[in-house]
Amino acid sequence: MEQAYSATTEPEQRLELLAQMTDIAFTKDLQLTMALKNFEALLPAEWFQRTHRSYLVNLRHIEEMVESELIIGDKRLPLGRNWREALMKRLLN
């Protein structure tokens, strides 16, 4: 039997990989088991950017970038050096 998941609410801020469990930050937290790379393939690329091996963020919610961290709401998320250049190009365009 196949299981299908659908969500009618856009992820508000971020998707975070926690020990193979992906935590999606909606207005209320919801957890689904799926690899982060699978979510990355499903979500609209114009809205989301990988910023760390454990984070995929909604670009419209980035408030500030301080050195190697992103500020999104009350969260400080790490910005991996492998993803920094790609993020800068997206934000400056």
Q: What is the pLDDT of residue 21?
A: 62
| C-alpha–C-alpha distance, residues 76 and 59, integer Å | 14
Whether residue 81 is predicted with pLDDT greater than 60 in this model: the reply is yes
Instruction: Dig out the tokens for 90 from the structure.
Output: 């997206």
In whole angstroms, give the CA distance from residue 57 to residue 12.
9
Q: Is the pLDDT of residue 6 over 50?
A: no
Residue 65 pLDDT = 92
Structure tokens of 62?
């980035």
- pLDDT value, residue 2: 40
69 Cβ contact list (under 8 Å, min separation 6)? 76, 77, 78, 79
Q: pLDDT tens digits, residue range 20-67?
A: 566 666 656 666 677 888 888 988 899 999 999 989 998 989 999 998
* Closest-CA residue to 79 (of 40, 49, 51): 51
Report the distance separating Cα 42 and Cα 40, nearest Å: 6
> Per mean pLDDT, which range of 9-18, 57-66, 68-77 is the poorest?
9-18
Report, as an integer, the average pLDDT of 54-83: 91
